[in-house]
Structure formats: structure tokens, C-alpha cells
Structure 1
Amino acid sequence: MSNNDSIKKTIIVTVLLCIVCSVIVSAAAVLLRPAQVANKSLDFKRNILSAAGLLEPGKNVDAIFNERVVTRVVDLKTGKFTDAVDPVSYDQRRASKDPSLSTNLSADEDLAKISRREDYSVVYLIQDENEQLQKIILPVKGYGLWSTLYGFLALEADANTVVGLVFYEHAETPGLGGEVDNPVWKAKWVGKEVYDEGDVAIAIIKGSVDSSSSNAVHQVDGLSGATLTSRGVHNLLHFWLGDNGYKPFLTNLKNGEA
């Protein structure tokens, strides 16, 4: 009888302990949620500034972002700015999965392997004190070897010259495709030109770029041992810089018609 009581008490104590632990974990998750959201937002802004070459060590990220960055929404169907959605509350990733807020891509169109393209994209503009455009930061994404890579492509005001390319989320192989995060490789993008007489010309090639080649200004070294990741980055850039991506917007922006 005493043994049964002992087992019963053990079970009761175990259940109570599980309940208490669950309550503590749930409470901690709720309490930490605002901090997690704030940190995610801060990291997002840090990557935008990094792509634009505006990240300054030791300087407040929020302060630089709020002072230098103008956030706008672009209708990718028209290539023009729009107020159809609020850039602060708009969830671009969720919108890309919503048939009412996105466009289905055919196999021929879907170079980036994303299936659907959101109809609205949040873009980030860097202006000087006279509100003259200096840089354009565009969200980009596409499938690599193991994952969808999410990043930002920054262009000069000419909408053609690369300022920087950063990826803030991916699951590519460390040491191989994961080298998209390597500062040495990212530096190779600076100054490259994405268009050649209106056609998307930026390319990741196998091996090293021949600096004497006439195409060198459009070419970037491939990632050693990461052919599929390199191809994925190449393809996602060709998609987002093409007619189904930002090309209509960039054309309108250069012509003062955005």
C-alpha cells in the first residue's frame, strides 16, 4: 500500500513540476518577445546599412537608419511607388505566399525558384541633405543549394553600379555556399555593373574574373566548391533585376517617373 502511495505521489509531483516548468517557459517567451522583435528589427536595419556601406562601428544603428534611410513601397506590376500597403506593418515574406498579394510565376519566369512573387516590395533609398538620391537598396531572395537566401542588393543612384550585396538569412553549407557571408567575396561585388545596354549582364562565373576582359565589369568570381549556391545567387539576381523584378521600377526611377 505504501509503495502504491509512493508511486502515486511521484507521478503527482512530476506532473506538477511539468506544469510549473511549462508556465515558467511560456511566461519567459512572452516577456522576451518584445526584446526578440526589437533585436530582429535591429539586425534587419544593420544589414540594410551594411549593403549600402553605411554601417559605422560603434554608431547607433537606429540613429543612422532613421537619419539616412527613406522607406518606400513599390508596386512591382507597375514599377512605381505606391501607398497601397503600409511599409511598417507590411510582411513581404508572408505576402509572397498569399495569392491575393502575389503573382504566380511560370517555370520560365521563376529563375529564383520562389514560385510566387509578392506584388509589393519595400525598398530603401539613401538621400543626401537636399533629398537627392544616392543609393537604392533592394530586397532579393532565391533558392541556393539547401535553402532560400534572403538579402539586400544596394545600387548607386545610376541604378546600375553595385554598392554591396549581403545575405542575412540562409542555410547554405558552412565553408562552401556559406561563403556568401565572407567579406572578401562580398567586396568583389562593389563597383560591378548589373546592366549592359538594358540587359541584365551581372554574372557569377566559374573560377576567377579576367580583369582584362571586356565583360569583367559585369563578372564576379564564383564560390569555390559551391557551384549550386553560386548559380542560385546568379539566378536570383537575374530574376530580381529583370522584367518580373525591379527593372521596371529602376527604369522609372532613372527617368523620374517612379
Structure 2
Amino acid sequence: MATKKYKCKVCGYIHEGDKAPDVCPLCAAPSSDFEEIKPEKKGGMNRDSNAYTIIYASVMVLLVAVVLAFTSQSLRSFQKKNEDNDKRQQILRSINVSVPASEAETKYNELIKDAFLVNENGEKVEGDAFTATPEQHPVFVANVDGKTKYIMALSGAGLWGPLWGYLSVDDNKDTIFGTDFSHAGETPGLGAEISKPQFSNEFKGKKLFANGQFKSVAIVKPGKSVAGQDYVDGISGGTITSQGVDKMLFNSLNGYVKFLTSQNQ
């Protein structure tokens, strides 16, 4: 049977035997100052080494990354469905219809009778209106109580990030029927108020054209007015966000002018 090895913690003397010596022959340290030297397992790695720590950490990071990637991929279809339903809810709110997410797809399919893209000449072009980018001009045609409404997409910038929304007009393509605005991170209680019905309801009945010219709808400070076009009060304390909505309306709808002035869908 192989003998054991013991090391003196005081002077480093190595003793071989079945047990530690009573006294270290070099420094006279008692047996309590000896520790057994455990042999390393063949083919194994010293768990106290830096290499083991680095390899272990790397493997754990890799495993966590794989699990997160798998989870994300597995949930992607649910995320996409939620995103699509959120968009449907926004489009429906622009025609003054509010439904929970669970009913959004059914209500959308019931009310939205057509959807297409138009170019700046008001002509239909190929593409999917529902997945359109901010640079494109999607049009959604709704039937509300037997009357046609045209819904257009809006995109712009606020104080802290992107703004977007939808605006619907009556079949005369001039009078606003409804709006819905969203934001990425405007200040709660201030700029974020653009997403509330109190603000969007102000746009109902406003005109986009004056004397045959496109004017959009101006956003003004509460108590102020503007000549030559319809306007609504901005958000108190949310001046920059209100200005962002003003610019978003003008710039986004400007791309629809030819469509709005056309007699054809």
C-alpha cells in the first residue's frame, strides 16, 4: 500500500508514512502543523487553478446564451402575435373602436375591408400595408356603420424617442374621423399624454385642407390660436412632444396629399 505524504506548514518538510510525525525533524513543529498532501486525480483538472475557473465560467456563459436564444426563438411567434395585435388595436382606435387584445384580430378583420400602399402621386403600389416601414404610405380602408373611412400611418420624433400613430378621415378625405398616437418614452404626465383619448379626441372633425390647399392640423399652446388652418391645444408641460406631433402630422400626411385629393381609392 502506498504511503501517504504530509507537509509541514511551518518549514515545508515532506514526510512519508501512514501518519504525520509527532514532531517535525527540521523545525520541531508538532504533528498538528502537518497537512496531508492529496494526490491529483489522473486526467482531471485542478479545480483551484485559474484555467479551471476560466473554462468553467466560459462553459456556463455559453450554456446560458444557448438557453436564452432557444427561449427567445420559442417565444418569437407569441411576441409577433402580440405586436400585430397591438398594431391592430392602434388602427382600430383611430376609427374610435377600442377592443381588448384578445378581440383585436376579429374586429380588425370585420371592419378593415382593404389595405394597400400608395406612392406620393397617390397611386397604388405593390407591398404589404400592415408591415409597411415608416418611409412607406399604407392606407387602410374601414367600414364603420356603413360609411367608408381611410386610415393613414404617422411617424415622427418626440422629446425622448420615436412617435407614431394613425389618423382616419371620412370618405371626403378631408375631415378627421379619429386619431391614435403612441410613443417610445415620453415623460409620464407630460408628453406621454399624447397617447390619452383626451388629446386624440380633440382632432375629431378638424379639416386637413383650407381653400383647396393641404394645411394639416396645427398643435398650439393652450389658449393660443393660429389663422388659416384648424388647430388643437397641445399638452401643457409637453411642448417639445406637442411640436413633435405637429411635425409628424404635417410631414407624414404630406406624403398622402395626392391620394387625399384623388377621387379614386
Q: For this structure pair, what is the TM-score category when the shorter chain's length is used for normalisation?
A: 0.7 to 0.9
Q: 1:100 corresponds to which residue?
A: none
Structure 2 partner of 1:187: 201
Q: Equivalent residues in 2 for 1:1-258 (5 A)? A: 5-7=47-49, 8-57=51-100, 60-82=103-125, 84-87=126-129, 90-93=131-134, 96=135, 118=136, 121-127=137-143, 133-199=147-213, 200-208=215-223, 218-242=230-254, 245-252=255-262, 255=263, 257-258=264-265
Contact kept, 8 Å, 2:143 with 2:149, in 1: the verdict is: yes
**Change in 2 beyond 3 A, CA 1:49/1:209:** farther
Displacement of 1:55 in angstroms is 2.1
Closer/same/farther in 2, CA of residues 5 and 80 from structure 1, 3 Å limit:
closer
RMSD: 2.8
Q: List gaps (5 residues or longer) in structure 1.
A: 97-117
Partner Cα distance (1:44, 1:185) in 2: 19
Q: Which amino acid aligns with 2:90?
A: N
| Secondary structure of 1:191's aligned partner | coil
Deviation of residue 127 (structure 1)? 2.2
Contact 2:150 2:168 in 1 (8 A): yes
TM-score w.r.t. the length of structure 1 is: 0.75
Identical aligned residues as a percent: 28
Bigger radius of gyration: 2
Q: How far did 1:188 drift?
A: 1.6
Q: 2:10 matched to which residue of 1?
A: none
Query: In the aligned structure 2, how far is the partner of 1:164 from the partner of 1:32?
Result: 34
The DSSP-based 3-state class of the residue aligned with 1:178 is helix
Q: Cα deviations across residues 140-179 of structure 1 (Å, max 9, x unaligned)?
A: 1122223231111111222222222222343323322222
* Unaligned ranges ≥5, structure 2: 1-38
Q: Contact 1:72/1:81 (CA < 8 Å) preserved in 2? A: no
CA contact (8 A) 2:118 2:138 kept: no
Taking CA–CA contacts closer than 8 Å with sequence separation of 6 or more, which of the two structures ends up with the larger relative contact order?
1
Q: Secondary structure at the match of 2:240?
A: helix
The alignment covers a number of residue pairs equal to: 221
